[in-house]
Chains A and B, each alone.
Chain A
Amino acid sequence: MLGPILETLIGGLLTGVLYSLVALGFVLIFKASGVFNFAQGVMVLFAALSVARLSEFFPMPIAIALAVVVMIALAYAIEFLVLRRLVNQEGIILFMATLGVTYFLEGFGQTVWGSDIYKIDLGMPKNPIFVLESVFPGGLLIDPSELIAALICAIMVVALAIFFQVTRVGRALRAVADDHQAAQSVGIPLNQIWLMVWAVAGIVALVAGMMWGAKLGVQFSLSLVALKALPVLILGGFTSIPGAIVGGLIIGAGEKLAEVVLGPVLIRMFDLAGGGIENWFAYVLALMFLLVRPQGLFGEKIIERV
């Protein structure tokens, strides 16, 4: 029994890394502009669709480069058409604006790029590898494409951490997040900062979209998978990059273990139809965290004077 549990744990952790990658995009924008960008999920889809469709006409490296241009153009369009007109508005107004962006991009993405299932071929190995075959019967199964995705995610995290903590731009981003007006008063160009952070979030979405797209195929449903980042954020905290990573790992491992280990128990005990635990477990876990630690594991505790 230990073998299957370990295998599920490893698979869950690797999937969790992919959740983290999407969650990073949310954290970036929230940390730098105080906006909870509901459109991050659909940005993942849009970015993946761009790479997949462009790679039908160009070699993959060029398709990726062009997709980066598309995501930067998208960031500019969002900044110019939406955010610039909402400076100093309440967070909830900005959140609602990103909801609008979500629905627009969902339809626009399918209109421009199509609704079929498209592929992104990054040349990643598809067949599983088996380790510790002498210890566990049949060995422990590991999906090599998820291992590679985890490695790429780790590189992204290190790069983003350096960007935020060490560079001048990173500090400016944090200043904007604290207070738009105060940041403007010390000469930080708000529009440029917003453009930059949305462009970086777009590139993170591109990486996440490529990883998920190579694994599942690129299709509308990708934006729904990306929403799994929400419980990850609640768990890890909206402002913490390490939180997004740890949250992703907990959610990934937790939901897979719940489905495989808890599922059969529930079926035996309550004669349920079973299944589907994987989908709701993450949200229940997030809900429990909201009750006891609303700022998440690594989020900043908000104290307001009244």
Chain B
Amino acid sequence: MIRKIAGIAAASVLAGGTLGGPALAQNEQFIPHLVYRTGAYAPNGIPFANGVADYYRLVNARDGGINGVTISYEECDTGYATDRGVECYERLKKKGPTGAAYFLPLSTGITFALTEKAPIDKIPIISMGYGRSESRDGAVFQWNFPLLGTYWTAADIIIQHIAKTEGGFDKLKGKKIALVYHDSPYGKEPIALLQKRAQMHGFETLLLPVTHPGVEQKATWLQIRQNRPDYVLLWGWGVMNSTAIKEAVAVAYPRGKMYGVWWSGAEPDVRPAEGGATGYHAVTLQHTAGQFKVHEDLKKYVYDKGNGNAKWEETDEILYIRGMINAMLGVESIRTAQAKFGKKPLTGEQVRWGIENLDLSAARIKDLGFEGVLKPIKVSCADHEGARTGRIQTWDGKNWKITSDWYVADDNVIAPMVKDAATKYAAEKKIAPGCLTN
């Protein structure tokens, strides 16, 4: 308990002092982070925030920053509320010698709200594995970067896997696939893709929204019991995920027929359901849990010195690793931008160029200690997503285990949808599509 209080105190100091601080030095790159360490979504928000903070700390301790430019980092707790997210953004966007390098909103709702602000303030938004699916079109969404995967990618991979399990796409005809989703912009994102795939393959979709925060799902699962879908896709976050699995147990719906998005496939989602979650699947945002090469440096430079935000045994968990990946992609984008603009603190506009030209080869990923975590990623104006691959993992009662080969989302299906949605958005917002050169 004392450790917990000490941890919170340390996090507060970190947020306001150690890496941030009111008086920022001139050779510091300021990076804000919108987090939620309290509230209904804290169980998932905390490990992600810890992963991000610890990676920045690692880069500072091991490398002396990014090419000698120290990272100055500050958290702002949004509680996953869009209004508080916008407030945090406004408070932090001009901080540091060059303003915010980029924002990680960790909320599709906040990402939606910031999408219109980012081009005005010239600060990029990295929404790794979330946000608007059509925002991968960099000609329209010049400041949005849904790196590694959008919800259309996630839904497509799950449908591909189900089809493979059934013996082919033709076997999906007549099947019923339910989507239990967080009734928010986040939860609604996969609907368009599912409807498109349903039209193509003749399966029926059953849409079941769950209102925030998702602890009342009895009626939802009674409907599942009555409609008896062949598969249930879970698009939840926070306590909604573990509640869904518990309710599935309560109505005896087989967990082996349930597939979660990557935000419904971490340890806090399955552990509260204990043995009840065994057999439950989730699509991965490429990585799963475990210790990787990067952990050796993390232990040596951060945790052995007593500077880690989490407990060491939590650093191999899925959301912690995802936080590190997100921070690493941000750092490497700044490094890419420094090659063009110089080894100094960069503006958001310069960092945007770095993200759009991010190209991490397998060799570079290995050098960074992320081998086995990530596949190569190459971002461009035409493709702000950079990669569209994933696997299926299954909870065995104690650990997540990879249970499928790699899938690549089918761009023959997704690309036209992106084009249509982005064109419509551009027309609505009176945006002249085009790539930015700087």
- Segment with Cβ contacts to A, from B245-253, B279-287, B415-423: B245-253
Q: Looking at the complex, which one of B1, B43, B183 makes contact with A116 (CB distance below 8 Å)?
A: B43
Q: Tell me the minimal C-beta distance from A286 to chain B in angstroms.
A: 16
Q: Looking at the complex, which one of A119, A143, A220, A277 makes contact with B38 (CB distance below 8 Å)?
A: A220
CB neighbours (8 Å) of B42 from chain A are 110, 115-116, 219-220
Top 7 A-B pairs, shortest CB-CB distance = A275-B209, A115-B42, A259-B219, A217-B272, A279-B211, A221-B213, A4-B226
Chain B 207-229: CB-based contact to A (< 8 A → 1; otherwise 0): 11111011110111011011000
Size range of the chain A interface in the assembly: 35 or more
A110 CA / B249 CA spacing, docked (Å): 28
Interface flag for B365 (CB, 8 Å): no
| From B222, B223, B252, residue with most partner A Cβ within 10 Å | B222
CB neighbours (8 Å) of A273 from chain B are 188, 207, 209
Is B243 within 8 A of A224, CB to CB? Answer: no
Is A215 within 8 A of B246, CB to CB? Answer: yes
Is A224 within 8 A of B209, CB to CB? Answer: no
Chain B 113-156: CB-based contact to A (< 8 A → 1; otherwise 0): 00000000000000000000000000000000000000000000
Q: Tell me the minimal C-beta distance from A14 to chain B in angstroms.
A: 9
Q: Report B's interface with A, CB cutoff 8 A.
A: 1, 4-5, 8, 37-40, 42-43, 46, 183, 188, 207-211, 213-216, 218-220, 222-223, 225-226, 238-239, 242-243, 246, 249-252, 268, 271-272, 274, 276
| From B40, B210, B218, B249, residue with most partner A Cβ within 10 Å | B218
| A115-B42, A216-B246, A219-B40 given; A260·B226 CB < 8 A | yes
Output the nearest chain A residue to B215 by Cβ-Cβ distance: A221
CB neighbours (8 Å) of A100 from chain B are none
| A126-B276, A259-B219 given; A53·B1 CB < 8 A | yes
Is B211 within 8 A of A115, CB to CB? Answer: no
Chain A 264-306: CB-based contact to B (< 8 A → 1; otherwise 0): 0000000001111111000000000000000000000000000
CB neighbours (8 Å) of B249 from chain A are 126-127
> Could you give 24 example pairs across A and B, Cβ below 8 Å?
A7-B225, A11-B222, A12-B218, A115-B37, A115-B39, A115-B42, A119-B274, A126-B250, A128-B250, A128-B251, A143-B250, A217-B272, A219-B43, A219-B239, A220-B42, A221-B213, A221-B215, A221-B238, A221-B239, A224-B213, A259-B220, A275-B211, A276-B210, A277-B219
CB neighbours (8 Å) of B243 from chain A are 216-217
Output the nearest chain A residue to B45 by Cβ-Cβ distance: A115
Q: Tell me the minimal C-beta distance from A19 to chain B in angstroms.
A: 10
Is A275 within 8 A of B215, CB to CB? Answer: no
Is B213 within 8 A of A141, CB to CB? Answer: no
Q: Looking at the complex, which one of B1, B223, B252 makes contact with A141 (CB distance below 8 Å)?
A: B252
Q: Looking at the complex, which one of A224, A256, A278 makes contact with B40 (CB distance below 8 Å)?
A: A224
| From B183, B216, B225, B276, residue with most partner A Cβ within 10 Å | B216
Output the nearest chain B residue to A273 by Cβ-Cβ distance: B209
Q: Looking at the complex, which one of B38, B207, B218 makes contact with A115 (CB distance below 8 Å)?
A: B38
Is B216 within 8 A of A225, CB to CB? Answer: yes
Is A276 within 8 A of B46, CB to CB? Answer: no
Interface flag for A91 (CB, 8 Å): no
Is B218 within 8 A of A274, CB to CB? Answer: no
Known: A4-B222, A221-B40. 5 other contacts (CB 8 A): A11-B222, A119-B274, A126-B276, A220-B39, A279-B216
Is B211 within 8 A of A274, CB to CB? Answer: no
Q: Tell me the minimal C-beta distance from A244 to chain B in angstroms.
A: 19
CB neighbours (8 Å) of B213 from chain A are 221, 224
CB neighbours (8 Å) of A61 from chain B are none
| A128-B252, A217-B272, A279-B211 given; A112·B246 CB < 8 A | no
Interface flag for A111 (CB, 8 Å): yes
A59 CA / B225 CA spacing, docked (Å): 37
CB neighbours (8 Å) of B39 from chain A are 115, 220
CB neighbours (8 Å) of A7 from chain B are 222, 225-226
CB neighbours (8 Å) of A228 from chain B are 216
The majority secondary structure among interface residues of chain A is: helix
CB neighbours (8 Å) of A220 from chain B are 38-40, 42, 239
Is A255 within 8 A of B1, CB to CB? Answer: no
A148 CA / B164 CA spacing, docked (Å): 43
A216 CA / B188 CA spacing, docked (Å): 24
Is B239 within 8 A of A217, CB to CB? Answer: yes
A114 CA / B3 CA spacing, docked (Å): 11
Q: Tell me the minimal C-beta distance from B186 to chain A in angstroms.
A: 14
Q: Tell me the minimal C-beta distance from A133 to chain B in angstroms.
A: 13
| A119-B272, A126-B276, A217-B242 given; A278·B219 CB < 8 A | yes
Output the nearest chain A residue to B219 by Cβ-Cβ distance: A259
A263 CA / B206 CA spacing, docked (Å): 13
Interface flag for A222 (CB, 8 Å): yes
CB neighbours (8 Å) of B246 from chain A are 126, 215-217
Interface flag for A117 (CB, 8 Å): yes
Q: Tell me the minimal C-beta distance from B15 to chain A in angstroms.
A: 15
A128 CA / B268 CA spacing, docked (Å): 24
A216 CA / B250 CA spacing, docked (Å): 11
Interface flag for A15 (CB, 8 Å): yes
CB neighbours (8 Å) of A216 from chain B are 215, 239, 243, 246
Q: Tell me the minimal C-beta distance from A108 to chain B in angstroms.
A: 11
Interface flag for A8 (CB, 8 Å): yes
Is A8 within 8 A of B251, CB to CB? Answer: no
CB neighbours (8 Å) of B272 from chain A are 117, 119, 217
Q: Looking at the complex, which one of B38, B43, B223, B226 makes contact with A107 (CB distance below 8 Å)?
A: B38
Is B215 within 8 A of A117, CB to CB? Answer: no
CB neighbours (8 Å) of B183 from chain A are 275-276
Q: Tell me the minimal C-beta distance from B204 to chain A in angstroms.
A: 14
CB neighbours (8 Å) of A278 from chain B are 211, 216, 218-220
Within 8 A of B (CB), among A1-23: 4, 7-8, 11-12, 15
A111 CA / B268 CA spacing, docked (Å): 19
A4 CA / B251 CA spacing, docked (Å): 12
Q: Tell me the minimal C-beta distance from B415 to chain A in angstroms.
A: 26
| From A15, A215, A217, residue with most partner B Cβ within 10 Å | A217
| A215-B246, A221-B239 given; A8·B40 CB < 8 A | no
